[in-house]
A and B are shown apart, each in its own frame.
Chain A
Amino acid sequence: MSRVRIAAIGLLCLLCLTAIQAEEVASVAIVVHPSVEVSNLTMLQLRRIFLAEQQFWPDRSRITLLVRAPGAVERDIVLSQIYQMNDAQFRQYWIAKIFRAEVPSGPKIVLSSNMALELVTAIPGSITFISASAVDEGTKVVRINGLLPSQAGYPLR
């Protein structure tokens, strides 16, 4: 009986851990270069930045957008929650944006969370998104609508 109880508790713990991990992976943190003097953005502001309708920070430094390559879960969340587009529409949006000379270039493609973190801390004015579980101590995470990824009601999940 006690073995069954131990096994049941173990299984429960495993399920909880899995749920916590899934929660972390499913939340996307918005990360900026440490020199960016912004600590909170509304969803509307975030959307304008990712659509390149706002291309400069309030201090007039240029925003450099770093976007994960297709296939990443974080990218899927950003495309659905921020862009409200699928991959094909996202591609067409940026080709049109470049064609119309509304931006000098499209977003820069990063291949992994490590690459995103390396570049966002190296390039002044840059902004990117990573899995909330990949955030480390030196990373500057921006609140969205006043909320951090760990808080209830955080919109990027």
Chain B
Amino acid sequence: MQRIVRQSALILCVATLVATSTLVSAQEPTVLGQPISALLFGEFDYRERENQGEDGFAIGQTVAQFNVQLDNRLSVFTEMTATARKGKDFEFEVERLFVRYDFSDQYKLSAGRYHTPLGYWNSAFHHGSWLQTTVSRPETVKFGSNVIPIHFVGALIEGNVGESSFGYKAGIGNGRSDEINDPGDFGDSNGNRAWLLAGNYRPPGGYRLNAGLSLYIDQISPDFEPDIDEQLINAYVVLEGETPEVLVEYTYAKHDSSLSEGNVNSAYAQLAYRLSGRAYPFKPYLRVERLDVDDEDPMLGDLNLGYKGVTAGTRWDFSSHAVLKAEVRREKSDTLSTRNSFWLQLAFVFDASSAYRSYRSYAPTGQSYGSPR
């Protein structure tokens, strides 16, 4: 009972802050009107896999994303996907939808549905195939993964720590629903909120280092088991530049129930390097990854998620907004013997920001600023 009162008080505080910020923001209209950033990501794949049918061409995911700046501090972010499904029409889903109020660089408060900011890949690339170097995502963060909660419904506060290069995120949300890879869009299925705490360090510099640590705590009430306590820890070190690009990420999960307990260990390391001179459009890459799940794990032990994989390929930026990737994989999972596969992916992004139009409308009537040099 005490816990419910404490959580209700916290949520009331957050709601009050959001409401207050909305009132304040209404007094600060932006001189630019309401700029919109719009991005459209798309992909088209070709695959050949050993010991598996339905190879050939495949329509990947199409993603539309809008970020509307309601005023200088308040913005609404939304992202929707259309995904081809076997034997069905396209499936449409709201992937992200949140309202954010920026008090300052140190405090940004938001509420809605996010990609869970646990680790690097899940929030850095997610549906943006054009952004990620490789065709595939690491096994731990692939679509429909059960290892980490891919989405998070709740509230987040985030920002920089003072004037430093350290950043933080703290969140409270519904956590996983009865279906463990769903985020509880309709409310918390068991009354136990999920907590999230993340920090990262991103100093300015040519290599663009980004290192982070995050913690996620939840209690899950699946249909098939007694309540399970879940603790996830993620650590990553990334060089976000291209000469080289380095991504190393480790995730540890611990699941406890009254019947059993178990751990999950997952890691991948990816190295890529943008070539120079005439070969500049090409970026070869290599990734190794491993996912180990205890058989006794009460949540994931029966799902045969164990996986080892090596991925190698190259990305060809043949256009400013489109890439072609060619990739080979050698994988071994608990359900499959060793399998080789070949993948091609054409990925693109369409950046339809209306900011420029805002400035044109802001410019004094009849004023000509000339054309770019």
Contact = CB atoms under 8 A, between A and B. Distances in A.
A110 interface: yes
Interface string A92-131: 1001101111001110111110110011001110000000
A108 B359 contact: yes
A89 B274 CA distance: 11
A8 interface: no
A118 B363 contact: yes
Contacts of A51: 204
Contacts, number: 114
Chain A facing B: main interface SS: mixed
Given A55-B105, A105-B355, 8 more contacts: A48-B204, A62-B73, A99-B131, A101-B77, A104-B75, A114-B369, A114-B370, A122-B31
Contact of A100 (B69, B103, B123, B320): B123
22 contacts: A47-B204, A62-B102, A70-B372, A89-B242, A95-B131, A95-B349, A98-B67, A100-B123, A101-B96, A104-B37, A104-B102, A105-B67, A105-B69, A106-B37, A108-B359, A111-B370, A115-B369, A115-B370, A118-B369, A123-B31, A123-B32, A124-B31
A125 B105 CA distance: 14
Interface residues of A, number: 44
A48 B115 CA distance: 25
A49 B186 CA distance: 39
A99 B35 CA distance: 15
Interface in A21-80: 44, 47-48, 51, 53-56, 60-62, 64, 68-73
Given A96-B124, A100-B123, A69 B72 contact: no
A105 B204 contact: no
Interface residue tally of chain B, by bracket?
35 or more
Interface string B343-359: 00000010101011011
Contact of B372 (A55, A100, A112, A119): A112
B206 interface: yes
A6 B131 CA distance: 62
B160 A105 contact: no
Nearest to A68: B372
A92 B105 CA distance: 23
Contacts of A114: 369-370
Choose among B96, B320, B353 the residue with the greatest number of A CB atoms under 10 Å from its CB. Answer: B353
